[in-house]
Chains A and B, each alone.
Chain A
Amino acid sequence: MTAFWLDSDYLLAALLSVVIGAIPLTASLWIAVKRPALAMIFFFFLFAFAWRLGSVLCIDLFGPVFSDQLERSIGPGNSTVPIAVSQAIVIAALLFSFRPQRVQELFSTNEFGLANRLPPGRFALSDLAFWAVALFVIALWAELFVRGSIPLFVGIERYDYSRLYGGVLHHRLLEWGPMLAFQLGVFFAGPLLHGKPLDWRIGALFATLILYLFFVGHRFSSFYAYTSFFIMPIGVVLLSNRAERAMKSISRYLAIAGAVLSLLIAVAITHSYVVVRGEGAQILSKLFQRIMIQQGEMWWMTYERVFLHGDWNSGLAAYKLFVGPFDQSRNSTMQFLMELGMPVERAHFVLTQGASYTGGWPEVYFELGGPVGGFILVAASAIAFSEFLFLLSRCVIQERFATSFFLTPILFTMSIAVISGMLNSFIQVTFIIKLAVALVVYIAEDRWRSKLHYPNGLLVSKHEA
């Protein structure tokens, strides 16, 4: 009797999964080595992509494996292929938008020397940002101590703390935290544009926020999201060829910060499983499910439905995503995928508990467009996203602080769409308002800066030229 893994069909399928899966992984590695500044901008996506791909590959190669959440076995198969191609499309779109020549053109223009065009003022914008955020952070810590129950010490879950004890500022931080981290990153790295050292005051504020998250029982996701958004503008500033020296010194600091953060995450996860949940004996099994199965299980379900059984319904998907989801106030994509992937009653029970499963992208596009249309939707959304990211990077490099401030919520929404496939936030009134305000501010700042550059109109500028 031959072992199943020696079977030629299995070997061919496994080889195909490994080879195609290696494409986005290799591309990510190439970006990290050759263009580290870009890797910092894309870290949020590349990390999530690599994790999901690893999980899907594990399901493909070592399946059937049992999924605790779905209560069924999944794999093996070639589910790696479509998700790897989708990820490769996004990476290609990002690399195309951030092609070296286009990026260097941003630095070659003298538009970003805003400080030279404004008369001296009474205080720097970074001072204002620092004091505003410092006040918020002090108030946040005060709120934590006044309310008493600190999750790290009393051993309660982060969501229980939010529900039972979390104050106004705590909730504001959870809602806007990654966007605040992005703004902190802008002011942290901003001085590099003028050949000055990093603003470590801002770095200290960010570290304080991370420590706060550790105290209130967060484990991984928040650290990952906050850090990713914080290093995004740092990467943007370091895109300049002139920043190569700064890159070397920053990478040393980043390595130290990364090591400390990893340690913090390891402690937080161990504390959560062992102290808070008392799952010490099952920690390895739980971690295996969390790391290797849960990241890829929902994609495998979509792969099985759409690619293996040809079972997809655009109309139903659109209805459940935008019109009639189980809970309008949350990510409708995962609700829909859960309803499709498991008994509806159980899916609703899990959702009613406030929980949700991992994934959603690119599942949502294949549920909407089928096995072929899905790739078109992935490509269209990837182009829109990469161009938006380039626009925001341009605003950071050119020190368009007001515009980048108002574009940040849109960046967050679009990033979440790429990570978890959340599309219903794009049809919310609040998103339309944010978009409209960002558009108004963008155009206003653009016109104002044109006026600063050419105070008497274009005719004078020609004369000057």
Chain B
Amino acid sequence: MRESPGAVPGDQYLGGLLMFMYQTIRTNLLLTIVLPLIAMAMAYMVAMQLPSVSAAQGTVRIGRVDGAETVSLPGVVSRINSLPFKQRLIQALQLPSNSAAARLVAGSLSAKQEASEIMNVSARAPVAQQAADAVRATVSLLDEDQRGIRDTFEANIKEQLATNDATIAGLLENQDSLTALTKESSKSATDEPTSAALQKVWLADLVSRNQQRLAAAKAERNALVARLGTWRTYPTALTDDVFVSSTPVFLKPVVIALLVGCVAFAVLFISALFRRA
């Protein structure tokens, strides 16, 4: 296709520009190719010496007591991200406070809300096991805090259950006594039929009221047991096992070398362009 007069010819423009760049590289081979290659090799060797770092992450479900959160999820997230909690975690992991591992764990531990009661906790450490332990220990510490409230609650509910059981036992005894009394009353003949009838009504009323109280006590017991049910009261725990990334968190040495090579090439190519001018 012929270009209209005045239009920039595409092949001449792109070809000319690329050829100019190619010639700049060709006339400055040492500067634009050899030096970046040397920089890449050096970067690769340095990158090989970098300590390996592993990352672990886990999905955590915040526990509830009697269907209610003991602390809100955003509160838990900001707590995990706070320095005092990180210090506590380092102590729990029994890492020397000035060690590189402790600094790395404290610096990298972070939590992020994923859903209404789910959060993601991640941590890094020099060793894969340490990273995984950091995440597990975080969950344990959170659960430990919650456990105090949960234990108190459970003790309280159990106390109520015991009282309730005693009440039920007493009512059952009453029921047996009343049944026996009713049978006895129907067997024994009385001289006064009116009095016997009144006694029967009175006993029937007592039995009925006892049954009502028994039913109420049993319902209350069921409600108490339900409050301890696993669907209303559960601990803070990992939903799945901790995932530890198999590759180191730092960029791969090859990638680092390539990045350094690109930067070196850009800088040296620009300097070659200025030299050429």
Contacts and interface: CB of A to CB of B under 8 A. Distances in A.
Interface stretch (B4-12, B89-97, B172-180, B184-192): B4-12
Contacts of A126: 7-8, 10
Interface in B234-277: 262-263, 266, 269-270, 273-274, 276-277
B72 A196 contact: no
A256 interface: no
B6 A436 contact: no
A374 B132 CA distance: 43
B10 A124 contact: yes
Given A344-B74, A447-B20, A440 B269 contact: yes
A399 B277 CA distance: 21
Interface string A89-123: 00000000000000000000000001100111111
A326 to B, nearest CB: 8
B204 interface: no
Interface string A433-454: 1001101100111011011100
A62 B14 CA distance: 58
Given A123-B3, A444-B273, A450-B277, A118 B8 contact: yes
Interface in B20-50: 20-21, 24
B1 A115 contact: no
Q: Which of B6, B24, B276 has the most CB of A within 10 A?
A: B6
Nearest to B11: A121
B270 A439 contact: yes
Interface in A162-206: 191, 194-196
B172 to A, nearest CB: 49
The B interface, classified by DSSP as helix, strand, loop or mixed, is helix
B9 A119 contact: yes
A3 interface: no
Q: How large is the interface on A (under 10, 10 to 19, 20 to 34, 35 or more residues)?
A: 35 or more
A278 interface: no
Interface string A339-370: 00000110011001000000000000000000
Nearest to A339: B74
B110 interface: yes
Nearest to B115: A352
A194 B9 contact: no
A125 interface: yes
Interface string A302-335: 0000000000000000000000101000000000
Contacts of B277: 447, 450
Interface string A401-431: 1100000000000000000000000000000
Contacts of B5: 115, 194
Contact of B6 (A115, A119, A122, A452): A115
B74 A345 contact: yes
A448 B9 contact: no
A255 interface: no
Contacts of B113: 348
A120 B12 CA distance: 7
B121 interface: no
Nearest to A194: B6
Contacts of B274: 443, 447
A372 interface: no
26 contacts: A115-B5, A115-B6, A118-B13, A119-B9, A120-B3, A121-B10, A122-B11, A124-B7, A125-B8, A125-B13, A126-B8, A127-B3, A194-B7, A195-B6, A196-B6, A436-B263, A436-B266, A437-B266, A439-B270, A440-B269, A443-B274, A444-B21, A444-B269, A447-B24, A447-B277, A448-B20
Top 7 A-B pairs ranked by shortest CB distance? A121-B9, A194-B6, A124-B3, A125-B10, A124-B7, A448-B20, A121-B12
